[in-house]
Homo-oligomer: A and B are copies of this chain.
Amino acid sequence: MDLAKVIGKIWATQKDPQLEGLKMQLIQPIDARSKNAGSVIIALDTVGAGEGDTVFYITASEAVIPLKRKPALTDASIIGIVDRINI
């Protein structure tokens, strides 16, 4: 799983119908010291993350696990909100 910060939202009216009702978040991958690490990605959110939250997300085929509906149309899902990192 990777660390990211929730930085915004995207709007898309024309999209695959299987995305209806799912919450998409724009997240910026970060390293352990909160520096940006790579391009933003769009992740589905099932844990109620909000803008500014540090989260961790899962990618690839395991990203579908948190979604109730299967097969889920996602390759990235937020699965937790980070309270604290200890290095």
Contact = CB atoms under 8 A, between A and B. Distances in A.
A9 interface: yes
Contacts of A79: 15-16, 19, 73
Given A40-B3, A40-B32, A62-B64, A16 B80 contact: yes
B1 A74 contact: yes
B58 A74 contact: yes
A75 B62 contact: yes
Given A16-B46, A16-B79, A26-B87, 12 more contacts: A8-B86, A10-B56, A10-B82, A14-B47, A14-B80, A14-B83, A15-B47, A16-B66, A18-B66, A19-B80, A38-B39, A62-B73
